[in-house]
């Protein structure tokens, strides 16, 4: 047995040595290959591409240029000389081997032909051979003829560069400014004269669809775009000048996008130079899936669209707002249209968004409840300044973040962002569960400006069933807050608020702790009590609701007069808060207690009906005890220095309300018109109206719900007696 173990150990060691040898040999042979190229280059070194093109080179020659237009301009590269067949069928990616040249007779699809030599990164020599970039996975923009001087139009350059890059790196020159304008027919090769302004690669790469005249990167897996603080900039008032194209972004992503990193680029949408003559969809980064059909069979027709493992970092998206005086106008920093079902691990962090036109970040259109997993939008700075206005001096923008596509989310992070501008954040949610959401450490300021078409909300998750939400340590501006139409396991903690958070549905652990509201006003408003639709009747229904240690109050009704006891599964704790507002009703939790000392004595009224009060309350201006509490015999109801009011019989103490604070309990009188939910009391009992109507002449029943006039009145509690 020991011998067998020894043999196994020796075998494993041998395998490990073989792996190490193969790995080392691979690196060594790569170095030899590079050295061979360098050695061979000494015979074929040119100052620029023009010298190379005019030389009589042979197939398989390896040559080097020390510049593109001139020596030292950063466009130098190594090329391998091959024939056109090699360029078409080996060098080009499979989805770039055909290009469109005109519409078919029906005008429904583009006719395709074999791709000519691009003459930007690869070049036809005078002898007919083709100089192909030797290392097509490590490209500098200048090797395709890009010029980052802020004057040269790089549209044609980037059309070819971005189409060809499927795996590897594109590097831009440090601090360069690359202009991209409206594609100009004068700059397009004659062979594409009937193709209009459409990107010739689009139809074969991405299928049937609207024309796009801007660069497209599609069907990639493992691309790193290195910006080096360079700028991609739209030419002044020169974008989407033709109704025949639907240009969207400076960088357009389509089809399958896997393992993409974009680092250190400034996307300048240059929107304030644009007027009403433009389509005005000047986005920074844009994605849409595309189509898998066309005039010819497409190479990726059976591959599912995907948008996954995306990282966008250290970038700046600026000037998407336009001067055009229309509502929904201008560009987003990042826009994802109709995200595919395979969308996951999208990480947008440590960027700047300056003067966006609609949204800083948007996921719009399409969807049928599919799930996006692992989406992070963290550590971004988002600012709209005083320059971001249109010709009528109204400020641009719709909101901050918009997930309007009918998608749901898992593992969504919105952390440590600073926003000084439009603040709205919306999620459609498609009625599905959005779960494991962290919104933490964000500072959001909305300047008081005359906006053209801004949304009024802060958080509006309108089609969401929220589950496992952490909302902590945020400092947010005014605007309505809604995290879904059902709620399951929510923690709202250590936030600074200017407007209340609306909670729809109570299920699981709902913890609201250590938050502060401006003027200690209403922090939480409970709007409904619906159980999430995915909870079956067979499951144990429970809710642990805690509102503790807050500087602010709460509003809500946890009771159904048509079904007393329905919400007895909700355990309520409201403790150790400092409130200038309290308007609460809960009759199903028999253990519900409340210390009225949490509420400032300076406010005219508050209510916490249904709770047993554990401390004395205070009088209102008419010497009526505040709060609507229940007291036990012997409890002190009022403890003033000159007067003590003591409970002599256990029961409820009627209260008086005040405008915008709480409704009053009303003394019974015959023929009184009442509304559903209104509190009525006589000398012995407190009741609640179960419908609108008019009371009769007598209200005296001591149990259950009985008709009084045409109103069903439910008896809630005996009245207390005191002296």
Q: For the chain, what is the radius of gyration of the CA atoms?
A: 35
Give the pLDDT confidence score for residue 10 in this predicted structure. 47
Q: Answer yes or no: is pLDDT of 2 > 50.
A: no
Give the pLDDT confidence score for residue 367 in this predicted structure. 84
Give the pLDDT confidence score for residue 402 in this predicted structure. 93
Answer yes or no: are the C-beta atoms of 261 and 225 closer than 8 Å.
yes
Q: Answer yes or no: is pLDDT of 528 > 60.
A: yes
What tens digit of pLDDT does each residue of 185-196 get? 777 887 887 777
Residue 43: pLDDT band (50, 70, 90) is low
In this structure, is residue 677 part of a structural domain?
Answer: yes
Residue 246: pLDDT band (50, 70, 90) is low
Q: Mind spelling out the 3-state secondary structure of 202-253?
A: HHHHHCCCCCCCCCEEEEEEEEEEEEEEEEEEECCCCCCCCCCCCCCEEEEE
- DSSP string of 534-603, one letter each residue: TS-TTSPP-EEEEEES-BSEEEEEE--TTSTTTTTTEEEEEES-BBS-EEEEE-S-TT-EE-GGGB-TTS
Give the pLDDT confidence score for residue 315 in this predicted structure. 98
Give the pLDDT confidence score for residue 50 in this predicted structure. 97
Range of the domain at 597: 593-722
Angle CA(357)–CA(361)–CA(363) in degrees, nearest 5? 115
User: For the ranges 79-88, 280-289, 299-308, 464-473, which has the lowest average pLDDT?
Assistant: 280-289
User: For the ranges 121-125, 193-197, 670-674, which has the lowest average pLDDT?
Assistant: 193-197
The closest alpha carbon to 434, from 467, 474, 398, belongs to 467
SS3 call for 162: helix
In this structure, is residue 252 part of a structural domain?
Answer: no
In this structure, is residue 611 part of a structural domain?
Answer: yes
Answer yes or no: are the C-beta atoms of 428 and 485 closer than 8 Å.
no
In this structure, is residue 672 part of a structural domain?
Answer: yes
Mean per-residue pLDDT, 652-678: 95
- Between these two residues, 694 and 211, which has the higher pLDDT value? 694
Q: Answer yes or no: is pLDDT of 3 > 60.
A: no
Mean per-residue pLDDT, 456-474: 95
- DSSP string of 35-64, one letter each residue: HHHHHHHTTSEESSHHHHHTS---TT-EEE
Mean per-residue pLDDT, 115-135: 96
Q: Answer yes or no: is pLDDT of 369 > 50.
A: yes
Residue 164: pLDDT band (50, 70, 90) is very high
In this structure, is residue 273 part of a structural domain?
Answer: no
Mean per-residue pLDDT, 23-29: 44
Q: Answer yes or no: is pLDDT of 26 > 60.
A: no
What tens digit of pLDDT does each residue of 268-322 get? 988 777 766 665 677 899 999 888 877 678 888 889 999 999 999 999 999 887 7
The closest alpha carbon to 323, from 385, 279, 388, belongs to 388
For the chain, percent of residues with pLDDT exceeding 70: 90
In this structure, is residue 51 part of a structural domain?
Answer: no
Mean per-residue pLDDT, 412-430: 94
Report the distance separating Cα 675 and Cα 291, nearest Å.
57
Q: Give the total number of structural domains in the chain.
A: 2
In this structure, is residue 699 part of a structural domain?
Answer: yes
Q: Answer yes or no: is pLDDT of 41 > 50.
A: no
Give the pLDDT confidence score for residue 642 in this predicted structure. 78
Mean per-residue pLDDT, 69-75: 96
In this structure, is residue 293 part of a structural domain?
Answer: no
Mean per-residue pLDDT, 506-512: 96
Q: Which residues, in sequence order, are CB contacts of 552 under 8 Å at separation 6+?
A: 497, 515, 516, 517, 520, 521, 522, 523, 577, 578, 579, 580, 581
- For the chain, give the mean pLDDT: 89
Residue 472: pLDDT band (50, 70, 90) is very high
Report the distance separating Cα 253 and Cα 318, nearest Å.
19
Report the distance separating Cα 377 and Cα 677, nearest Å.
44
- Between these two residues, 312 and 213, which has the higher pLDDT value? 312
For the chain, percent of residues with pLDDT exceeding 90: 70
């Amino acid at each position: 047995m020991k011998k067998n173990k020894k043999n196994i150990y020796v075998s494993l060691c041998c395998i490990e040595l073989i792996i190490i040898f193969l790995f080392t040999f691979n690196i060594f042979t790569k170095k030899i290959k590079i050295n061979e190229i360098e050695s061979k280059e000494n015979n074929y070194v040119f100052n620029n591409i023009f010298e190379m093109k005019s030389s009589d080179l042979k197939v398989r020659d390896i040559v080097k240029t020390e510049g593109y237009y001139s020596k030292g301009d950063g466009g130098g590269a190594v090329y391998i000389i091959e024939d056109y067949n090699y360029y078409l069928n080996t060098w080009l990616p499979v989805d770039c081997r055909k290009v469109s040249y005109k519409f078919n007779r029906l005008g429904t699809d583009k006719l395709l032909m074999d791709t000519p030599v691009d003459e930007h990164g690869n070049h036809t020599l005078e002898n007919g051979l083709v100089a192909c970039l030797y290392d097509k996975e490590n490209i500098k923009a200048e090797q395709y003829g890009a010029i980052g001087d802020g004057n040269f139009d790089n549209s044609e350059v980037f059309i070819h560069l971005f189409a060809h890059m499927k795996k590897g790196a594109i590097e831009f020159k440090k601090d360069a400014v690359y202009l991209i304008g409206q594609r100009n027919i004068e700059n397009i090769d004659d062979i594409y004269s009937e193709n209009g302004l459409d990107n010739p690669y689009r139809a074969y790469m991405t299928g049937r669809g609207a024309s796009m005249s801007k660069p497209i990167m599609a069907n990639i897996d493992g691309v790193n775009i290195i910006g080096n603080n360079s700028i991609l900039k739209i030419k002044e008032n020169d974008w989407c000048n033709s109704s025949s194209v639907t240009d969207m972004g400076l960088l357009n992503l389509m089809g399958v996008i896997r393992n993409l990193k974009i680092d250190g680029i400034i996307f300048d949408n240059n929107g304030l130079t644009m007027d009403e003559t433009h389509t005005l969809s000047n986005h920074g980064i844009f994605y849409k899936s595309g189509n898998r059909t066309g005039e010819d069979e497409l190479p990726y027709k059976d591959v599912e669209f995907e948008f996954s493992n995306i990282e966008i970092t250290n970038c700046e998206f600026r000037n998407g707002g336009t001067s055009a005086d229309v509502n929904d106008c201008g560009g987003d920093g990042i826009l994802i249209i109709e995200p595919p079902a395979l969308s996951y691990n999208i990480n947008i962090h440590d960027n700047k968004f300056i003067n966006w036109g609609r949204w800083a970040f948007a996921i719009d259109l399409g969807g049928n409840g599919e799930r996006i997993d692992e989406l992070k939008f963290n550590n971004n700075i988002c600012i709209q300044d005083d320059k971001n206005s249109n010709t009528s001096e109204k400020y641009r923008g719709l909101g901050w973040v918009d997930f309007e596509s009918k998608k749901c989310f898992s593992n969504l992070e919105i952390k440590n962002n600073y926003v000084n501008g439009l603040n709205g954040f919306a999620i459609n949610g498609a009625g599905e569960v959005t779960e494991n959401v962290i919104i933490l450490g964000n500072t959001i300021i909305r300047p008081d400006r005359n906006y053209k078409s801004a949304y009024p909300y802060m958080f509006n998750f309108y089609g969401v069933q929220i589950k496992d939400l952490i909302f902590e340590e945020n400092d947010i501006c005014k605007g309505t807050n809604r995290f879904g139409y059902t709620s399951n396991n929510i923690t709202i903690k250590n936030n600074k608020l200017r407007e209340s958070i609306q909670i729809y549905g109570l299920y699981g652990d709902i913890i609201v702790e250590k938050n502060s509201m401006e003027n200690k006003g209403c922090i939480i408003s409970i709007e409904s009590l619906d159980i999430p639709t995915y909870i079956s009747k067979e499951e144990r229904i429970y809710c642990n609701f805690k509102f503790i240690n807050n500087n602010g109050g709460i509003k809500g009704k946890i009771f159904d007069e048509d079904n007393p006891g329905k919400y007895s599964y909700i355990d309520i704790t409201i403790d150790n808060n400092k409130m200038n507002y309290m308007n609460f009703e809960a009759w199903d939790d028999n253990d519900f207690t409340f210390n009225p000392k949490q509420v400032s004595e300076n406010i005219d009224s508050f209510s916490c009906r249904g709770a047993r009060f554990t401390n004395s309350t205070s009088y209102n201006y008419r010497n009526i005890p505040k709060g609507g509490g229940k007291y036990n015999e012997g409890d002190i109801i009022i403890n003033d220095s000159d007067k003590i009011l003591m409970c002599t019989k256990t029961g409820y103490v009627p209260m008086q309300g005040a405008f915008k604070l709480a409704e009053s309990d009303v003394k019974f009188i015959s023929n009184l018109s009442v509304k559903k939910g209104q509190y009525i009391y006589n000398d012995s009992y407190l009741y609640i109206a179960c419908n609108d109507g008019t009371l009769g002449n007598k209200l005296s029943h001591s149990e259950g719900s009985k008709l009084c006039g045409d109103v069903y009145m439910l008896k809630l509690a005996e009245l207390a007696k005191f002296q």
